[in-house]
Amino acid sequence: MLSKSMGRLVRFTLPHKARFAVAFAFMLVSVSAEMAIPWLAKVIIDEVIVPQQFDWKHLGVLSAAVLLLYMCQAGFQYLQSLSFKHGALLVVNDVRKQLFDHVLRLPIAAFDRLSTGRMVSYVTNDTESLRDLFVSTFPTIIQGSLRIVGIFIAIALLDWRLAVISMALIPVLLATMQIYRKVSTPVFNGIRVQISHINNTISESLQGMSLVQAFRQENAFKARFEKDNDTWFNFRTRSIAVDSLMLLPFTRLVGSLTALGIVAWFGNASLQTVVEVGTLYAFLNYIERFFEPFRQLSMELRKMQVALVSSARIFEILDEPVHHAPKDDAPMVELAPQKDIEFKHVRLAYEEGVNALDDVSFVAKSGQFTAIVGPSGGGKVRW
């Protein structure tokens, strides 16, 4: 279901594909500049510093090139971030408009099943979660993929054997991320559901505060709110435990062990042949950069899970059949003035077999106020 939601989310980006294409081009230039920096540093170390042949002109050119690459990386990274964020806001704006327009055309039966608090949560909180997905998570995935490809090319040019060893780490990291996704999805789903329940309780209590106090229901609403809040707290505690175990600590452990293995490999190789210091520096630098996308993606996985759960809830509303409004020329029923309104044995059901009202009879006297009191979804609005 979540993968299906992802596909539908991507379709919302199509009207703004030109802006995202420009952002991708900026990102490609930024990543290329970043990948060239360790290679130039290797050249400086091996050709200038270690031989102690200080050709100041050559050193100045190389240093200026490194500085230029840093400036190029920073500048294009700023441009791609700006482009992605603006495109993301446009996408979320489209989703929110379409969602609210759809809510306005839902039949009354839908509001019997979906409380006001849940509706508010869908239109505000869940659409805001999508913003994090497009602003942060998607760019991180794309940029991380480009970095990994560039790093493998650079490592293969230095030593193809270490490139093969580095490739073996990818399945381990991807498997960890998949396990995290399966474990965390029910937790984040529970968090979003409890937020909806909390919003619904707050909405009902504030809108009907006069009735709550008149009928001395303060303790009942307080107990209901505390139950939902405690459940939310338990889900949050579980999410912290999962994040603390499977995100940054694991990737840092694998990265440290890999760096240790590379140093040991170079140490063993130095007993048989000459190992260039610049090459060792470049390897360690590229390996550190190799794990950086996985670390960033690990941090973004939580946002992605929240966003995917939110998108599933949004599409659940968008898939609700809409109410077909009557034509403008439909005849209107005029009520006679100064007449009583009497209901005799009225039954009302939004869903077949489930009566919201069952055998209700009363008289609304002309010129008098008639109050109808009942729980949310009890059919008061229909009167």
pLDDT digits (tens, 9 = 90+) for 25-41: 999 999 888 888 888 88
pLDDT digits (tens, 9 = 90+) for 37-55: 888 888 888 777 776 666 7
Please list the residues that pair with 360 across neighbouring strands.
Answer: 346
**Contact of 322 with 106, CB cutoff 8 Å:** yes
- Whole-prediction pTM: 0.63
Structural domains of the chain, ranges and CATH numbers in brackets: 2-318 (1.20.1560.10), 337-383 (no CATH)
Q: What is the CA radius of gyration of the chain?
A: 31
Type and span of the H or E element at 115? none
Name the burial class of residue 264, with classes exposed (0-12), middle (13-18) and buried (19+) by CB atoms within 10 angstroms of its CB.
exposed
Per DSSP, the three-state class of 356 is strand
Phi, psi of 360 (to 5 degrees): -100, 130
What token pair was written down for 240? 């912290």
- Look at residues 364, 357, 356, 362 and name the one whose alpha carbon lies nearest to residue 344: 362
What token pair was written down for 71? 């400036």
Residue 383 has pLDDT above 70, yes or no: no
Please list the residues that pair with 357 across neighbouring strands.
Answer: 348
Name the burial class of residue 168, with classes exposed (0-12), middle (13-18) and buried (19+) by CB atoms within 10 angstroms of its CB.
exposed
pLDDT at 108: 74
Residue 110: what residue type? A
pLDDT at 334: 65
**Contact of 20 with 83, CB cutoff 8 Å:** yes
Helices 218-246, 248-270: crossing angle, 10 deg rounding: 10
CA separation for the pair 40, 32 (Å, rounded): 13
pLDDT at 167: 75
Residue 380 DSSP class = T
pLDDT at 79: 93
Residue 323 DSSP class = P
Residue 24 has pLDDT above 60, yes or no: yes
